[in-house]
């Protein structure tokens, strides 16, 4: 990712294919495709996705498509980000502590930052997290703590979490993660190898409830840090 130094307000607001007008078209599309939360839609409108992706692809930032972010990783398509965020919130307006596995370029972290009191974000690739952290700090997102580590372990220091969101796919739901959910907390996670589905696990007073949602395609969740 590019070193922006100071990021001007103009650059954040965007112009032409990164302008509010272009973003509004994306938001209209997300609404048509079933994203119902006004809060999530507003965040999709106001979060400058064009600053999070690889150089030279800014003009595609508000297309509903996944894009490369370097280190062989991708930022999810906006529809999936919006849907996962909506599933994480469920009927709740605002969350306390949220754990994110897979900081990547930091775009999802930026969205979560506005919906939670505190975000904890783990990424296994050091450079990606370094860049994400710098950008998010420059943009003024302050309530995010970062760890370069292996998300399979979760982050026990700050558990339990009201929400855990995973943006890389393991072949099975990691038991260590559901143990770190608060009662009423939700885990949103893509699961599978060649074929993946989005799952939601909710911790209840007596155990866990699991629901399967749409088919998705995420990069694999890998063991260990890099």
Residues known to be catalytic: 76
What does the angle CA 121 – CA 49 – CA 170 come to, to the nearest 5 degrees?
40
DSSP-derived secondary structure letter, 61: T
Site for ligand SAH in 9-68 (CB under 6 A): none
Considering only 30-38, 86-94, 200-208, 215-223, which stretch makes contact with ligand SAH by CB under 6 A?
A: 215-223
Find all residues with CB under 8 Å of 171, minimum gap 6, and list them.
191, 192, 193
Distance CA(4)–CA(165), nearest Å, equals 28
Compute the least distance from the CB of residue 205 to ligand SAH, in Å: 29
Alpha-carbon gap, residue 135 to 73, rounded angstroms: 17
DSSP 139: T
Q: Which of 26, 69, 187, 198 binds ligand SAH (CB under 6 A)?
A: 69
Closest approach of ligand SAH to the CB of residue 184, in Å? 24
Tokens read off for 65:
């498509």
Q: Minimal distance in Å, beta carbon 128 to ligand SAH?
A: 5
Phi first, then psi, for residue 149 (nearest 5°) are -170, -170
What is the footprint of ligand SAH within residues 81-110 (CB under 6 A)?
A: 101-102, 104-105, 107-108
Nearer to ligand SAH, 41 or 147 (CB): 147
- Specify whether the CB–CB gap between 154 and 180 falls below 8 A: yes
Residues of span 115-174 touching ligand SAH by CB under 6 A: 122-125, 128, 150-152, 167-168
Residues in the interface with ligand SAH (CB under 6 A) total: 24
For binding to ligand SAH (CB under 6 A), which residues are involved? 69, 73-76, 101-102, 104-105, 107-108, 122-125, 128, 150-152, 167-168, 219, 221-222
């Amino acid at each position: 990712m590019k070193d922006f130094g100071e990021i001007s307000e103009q650059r954040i607001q965007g112009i032409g294919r990164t302008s509010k007008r272009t973003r509004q078209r994306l938001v209209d599309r997300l609404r048509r495709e079933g994203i119902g939360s006004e809060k999530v839609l507003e965040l999709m409108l106001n979060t400058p996705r064009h600053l999070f992706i690889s150089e030279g692809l800014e003009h595609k930032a508000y297309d509903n498509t996944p894009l490369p972010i370097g280190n062989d990783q991708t930022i999810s398509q906006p529809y999936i980000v919006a849907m996962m965020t909506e599933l994480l919130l469920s009927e709740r307006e605002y969350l306390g502590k949220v754990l994110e596995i897979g900081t990547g370029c930091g775009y999802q972290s930026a969205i979560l930052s506005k919906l939670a009191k505190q975000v904890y974000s783990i990424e296994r690739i050091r450079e990606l997290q370094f860049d994400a952290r710098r950008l998010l700090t420059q943009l003024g997102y302050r309530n995010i703590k970062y760890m370069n580590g292996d998300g399979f372990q979760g982050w026990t220091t700050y558990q339990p979490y009201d929400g855990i969101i995973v943006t890389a796919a393991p072949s099975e739901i990691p038991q260590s993660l559901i143990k770190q959910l608060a009662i009423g907390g939700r885990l949103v996670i893509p699961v599978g190898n060649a074929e993946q589905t989005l799952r939601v696990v909710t911790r209840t007073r007596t155990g866990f409830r699991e629901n399967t949602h749409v088919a998705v395609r995420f990069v694999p969740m890998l063991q260990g840090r890099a």
